[in-house]
Amino acid sequence: MQQDGAQTIGYLSGPVDGVAVHDAFQTGQPLAYLGTSYLLEFFEECAGTNANGVVITSEDTGFYSRTFDRFTVVNLSKPPVRGGLFYHADLIGWTWTALSVLNAAGVDTLILTDVQNYWFLTAFHAIRRARLIPAIHCVLDRPYAPTKPAHRILHWLNKHLFYRRLVQSALVASPVIERQLQSDFGQIPLRSAVFLPDYREEDFAAPFGRDPEPGPFLILSAGRLEESKGAMDIVAMAQILEQRGEMDFRFEVCGTGAGEAAMRREIARLGLAHRITLNGFCDKQRLLDLFGKAHAVVVPTRSSFEEGFAMICAEAIAAGRPLVTSRVCPALEVVAEAAEEATIDDPASYADAIQRLVTNPALYQQKRDAAARIRSKFFDKTNSYGWHLRRVLAAEPEREEVATGSLGLGYCTRSRPRSS
């Protein structure tokens, strides 16, 4: 049961199993999957301040509402995806419903994560009276791809109706997002905090202490199998390297998604089954085992995707493995010395980067050594979402605030009174 008189903090989350995350929070048992759980850190920060929490999730499992000691988790499944204006109409309707549930719960503060393009709706909703804190996980505007007219309109609405009118503080997933946000604000002061995905160092002890397996150069990829995440580019890389015939290699691919069937067909058509293994969903232990076997990790996100950081980049470095990616992944800015940069949307450039790691042992070792030097930033709690969330929640209006983690990626700006 929620505690009377306590602050109530809302969290507009995403397609996550909120009940399973709460169970992990209650028991202290690690989640089954590898990766940072920002919802888990939200639960921890609410408990640390004796606040009530109301969480909206969007799993495709139908409606449910579960109440625990001081937390309520409400799942509102999103409508099936339709094209054109129907897509936006459906998400506007879903967002309005979610805001209404949160407002009815009496939230004093609302952390917004999901449906980033539609936060401007808060300007027309009673929820605007709450303290609104965006936690921005995707870039506001894709830096390397044309902006669609609909996105330009949504960006303008968010900029003028939400960020500039209703926001004092923001949590952002990368320096790239922070620069975009500060640019949108112009001369209007904003308190922003850059957080990093954080992990338990002991989880990565085994892969970090293990040399890659002898034999073919093993390249690991993990994430959703979608065209925008570079699924078909992995096949193209393998085809290019196979045609060159200069190295023995294998791609181990973890994940599922809408592009999986097309990827399987193309692998079969090109006769690359001996070069690419599709493992489907990999649980935490399986993924850590593959990190230990792998020589390198590739993250071929395309410019069409609004990548905010790409946690797999952090996981590669935590495991002590060189990374191959492009500037589409904002993580590259944070881990550049341990990465081999490829040209955006260019499978041949990715193949070149992989081949450089194979044919230049000194370069490969240099990247491994760099990963070993910088991996600690992903184990440092002062860089974490939860650490910065705590300080943003505690910050008082109309004062200057300076707080940084070990990277100097903290927040430092003046806040201002919010428009009523």
- What confidence tens digit (pLDDT) does each residue in 357-369 have? 999 999 999 999 9
Are residues 402 and 334 located together in one domain of the fold? no
Q: What does the pLDDT average to over 340-369?
A: 98
Compute the distance between CA of residue 289 and CA of residue 285 in angstroms, rounded to an integer. Answer: 6
Of 103, 154, 150, residue with least CA distance to 130: 103
pLDDT value, residue 405? 46
Residue 192 scores a pLDDT above 90: no
pLDDT value, residue 409? 45
Q: Is the pTM of this model over 0.85?
A: yes
Complete DSSP assignment for 359-387: H-HHHHHHHHHHHHHHGGGGT-GGGSHHH
Asked whether residue 236 is assigned to any structural domain, the reply reads yes
Are residues 183 and 322 located together in one domain of the fold? no
Asked whether residue 41 is assigned to any structural domain, the reply reads yes
Q: What does the pLDDT average to over 158-170?
A: 93
Amino acid making up residue 389: L
Asked whether residue 126 is assigned to any structural domain, the reply reads yes
- What confidence tens digit (pLDDT) does each residue in 112-163 have? 999 999 999 999 999 999 999 999 999 999 999 998 999 999 999 999 999 9
Amino acid making up residue 367: K
Number of Cβ within 10 Å of residue 47's Cβ equals 15
Are residues 34 and 122 located together in one domain of the fold? yes
Are residues 268 and 305 located together in one domain of the fold? yes
pLDDT value, residue 246? 93
Of 90, 60, 58, residue with least CA distance to 74: 58
359, 179 in Cβ contact below 8 A? no
Compute the distance between CA of residue 271 and CA of residue 79 in angstroms, rounded to an integer. Answer: 38
Task: Give me the residues paired with residue 53 across strands.
Answer: 9, 71
Asked whether residue 1 is assigned to any structural domain, the reply reads no
Residue-number span of the structural domain to which 210 is assigned: 201-378
Complete DSSP assignment for 60-124: TT--EEEE-SSEEEEE-PPPPP--HHHHHHHHHHHHHHHHHHHHHTT-SEEEE-SSGGGGGGGGG
Compute the distance between CA of residue 188 and CA of residue 150 in angstroms, rounded to an integer. Answer: 26
Q: Are strands 71-75 and 64-67 parallel, antiparallel or unpaired?
A: antiparallel
Task: Give me the residues paired with residue 381 across strands.
Answer: none
Are residues 227 and 368 located together in one domain of the fold? yes
Compute the distance between CA of residue 13 and CA of residue 15 in angstroms, rounded to an integer. Answer: 7
pLDDT value, residue 191? 84
Are residues 135 and 189 located together in one domain of the fold? yes
Total of domains in the chain: 2
Residue 416 scores a pLDDT above 80: no
pLDDT value, residue 419? 39
DSSP state letter for 162: I
Asked whether residue 131 is assigned to any structural domain, the reply reads yes
Residue 384 scores a pLDDT above 60: yes
Are residues 271 and 351 located together in one domain of the fold? yes
Which distant-in-sequence residues (6+ apart) come within 8 Å of 18 by Cβ?
A: 39, 55, 57, 59, 66, 73, 75
pLDDT value, residue 396? 59
- What confidence tens digit (pLDDT) does each residue in 270-309 have? 999 999 999 999 999 999 999 999 999 999 999 999 999 9
Angle among Cα 378, 276, 345 to the nearest 5 degrees reads 65
314, 197 in Cβ contact below 8 A? yes
Q: What does the pLDDT average to over 237-251?
A: 97
Asked whether residue 2 is assigned to any structural domain, the reply reads no
Q: What are phi and psi of 131, to 5 degrees?
A: -75, 120
Exposed e or buried b per residue across 351-366, where buried means at least 16 C-beta atoms within 10 angstroms of its C-beta: bbbbbebbeeeeebeb
Are residues 91 and 39 located together in one domain of the fold? yes
- What confidence tens digit (pLDDT) does each residue in 220-239 have? 999 999 999 999 999 999 99
Are residues 219 and 353 located together in one domain of the fold? yes
> In 3-state terms, the chain is what percent helix, strand and coil (to 5)?
45, 15, 40
Average pLDDT, the chain: 91
Asked whether residue 219 is assigned to any structural domain, the reply reads yes
Are residues 125 and 264 located together in one domain of the fold? no
The CATH number of the domain holding residue 344 is 3.40.50.2000
Residue 36 scores a pLDDT above 90: no
Asked whether residue 420 is assigned to any structural domain, the reply reads no
Are residues 342 and 405 located together in one domain of the fold? no
Query: Does residue 273 or residue 410 have the better pLDDT?
Result: 273
Are residues 145 and 214 located together in one domain of the fold? no
Residue 37 scores a pLDDT above 80: yes
